[in-house]
Chain A
């Protein structure tokens, strides 16, 4: 086996990335350490495994969506996550990040999911507003119809119970929700 090579760029680190380039029909090979490889925009196999979405996001970076220059340092006021952190890990820091990075996330979500609009279950917080109740009731009624059409009566009964548990509150919002 070959002995470990040192980095062609800085001459100190162990080379972990071996890059073969062909320029004007001439092939040249570079051996780079992790730091220098990262500086040149290359990733080691290990990094790719750790941050698959990060890699994906990096590719997305070529498109016009990413925020204007200087945005990398923008941080979430709640958890402190920066945009650069997000690009590196592919993970957001807290619920508030979705608001902080909303404009960028919309583009990303459209590419990943083909949509930005949630159409599934509507969450009814323990302290819901009248609109939330209304939306949820409508959705449950639609589900009830589907269950009945499919003759899934056990499921229908369950959904009916959920509707019943909301309905009175929908007409008269609970007293504590007005505060």
Chain B
């Protein structure tokens, strides 16, 4: 359990809903893939390759200003629950965690910066995956943070670089800039007005793609879509980021229009759905994570339409993160079988809504909190 103190509040900064369009855009993430010369890439790297990479990162982390006071957690040394918490906060990927029966490979690690919301996955598919995560739509800001970290590391580390192909990556779909910028959007208006497919097709026509909440291969739950650039080569990083931003702004506009259409043409039904969702969340005694996400989607729409002025986006963000299985187990101080987990989830939601559901409108004074007390 002690290892959890290492992770503490990392990866939770975006919950405060301080970014632009935080109602529709939950978070912005930018990641950069980098590899070191002289070592095989992740899937083919031997133990001594991975250990050498981690050693170099440790040395470099001591010199990089952005990583001053950073926490370096080696995954094999963490307990299973702590690893899953990293996954639930999107600080580690499923691949980094390894297969459930074998666990993470040796020398896999995460580096968590103390000041800025940036972190590094070490020895995933690529040797380094730098990432920044912030609230709302903040593509340029997050890009600058990760870019700075990349500059600092690049001064010390011998990156694998090719004069024509740019930064080399394990998968050729990431080569060049190695940059994948993504924005997690909540698009219930477009889903309910059945416009979503048109929008998603439009995204692919302009070189963007979408995924579910947990990235590659995950399903879309609760109308949450992760929109990101598809290509990484042949455009500058700034172009990629700007192009995504322009398109995301358009999607935000479409979503806002769709919400107005919903209110105008199906106001009563929409309002009923929203209040029912809040009712279930307020009184349910057992909630699966998927059901919770769908209900939160309805309530979030209600907050966006100003039908539920007493609820804050921060509270909704918090409900998404702390109701995931490993977070609930952490609060309970023990493993929870699925049925029990559902009960704990409902209890936590009721408690938070009772406490924060009646906050006065526009009251932003309360600071974000850490994990729920056990």
Q: Point out the residue from B125, B144, B156, B179 that lies within 8 Å of A120, measured CB to CB.
A: B179
Interface size of B by Cβ–Cβ distance < 8 Å? 45
Contact status B41-A98, CB under 8 Å: no
Contact status B234-A119, CB under 8 Å: yes
Query: Residue-by-residue, is A112-128 near B (CB-CB < 8 Å gives 1, otherwise 0)?
Result: 11111111110111100
Given contacts A91-B170, A92-B172, are A114 and B161 in contact (CB under 8 A)?
no
Interface size of A by Cβ–Cβ distance < 8 Å? 36
Contact status A115-B234, CB under 8 Å: yes
**Stretch in B8-16, B19-27, B32-40, B180-188 with 4+ CB within 8 Å of A:** B32-40
Query: Residue-by-residue, is B132-158 near A (CB-CB < 8 Å gives 1, otherwise 0)?
Result: 000000000000100110110011111
Contact status A123-B154, CB under 8 Å: yes
What CA separation (Å) do A124 and B166 show in the bound complex?
A: 12
Contact status B41-A93, CB under 8 Å: yes
Q: Does B274 sit within 8 A of A, measured CB to CB?
A: no
What CA separation (Å) do A119 and B170 show in the bound complex?
A: 19
What CA separation (Å) do A120 and B166 show in the bound complex?
A: 8
Q: Point out the residue from A92, A99, A124, A125 that lies within 8 Å of B41, measured CB to CB.
A: A92
B residues less than 8 Å from A114 (CB atoms): 231, 234
Q: Does A108 sit within 8 A of B, measured CB to CB?
A: yes
A residues less than 8 Å from B164 (CB atoms): 116-118
**Stretch in B78-86, B235-243, B309-317 with 4+ CB within 8 Å of A:** B235-243
Closest partner residue, chain A, to B162 (CB atom): A98
Q: Does B224 sit within 8 A of A, measured CB to CB?
A: no
Contact status B160-A121, CB under 8 Å: no
Cβ-closest 7 pairs across A and B = A115-B234, A118-B166, A95-B160, A113-B233, A120-B177, A123-B161, A93-B44
7 A-B residue pairs with CB within 8 Å: A98-B168, A112-B233, A113-B175, A113-B232, A119-B235, A126-B157, A155-B144
Binding site for A on B (CB under 8 A): 35, 37-41, 43-44, 125, 144, 147-148, 150-151, 154-162, 164-168, 170-173, 175-177, 179, 217, 231-238
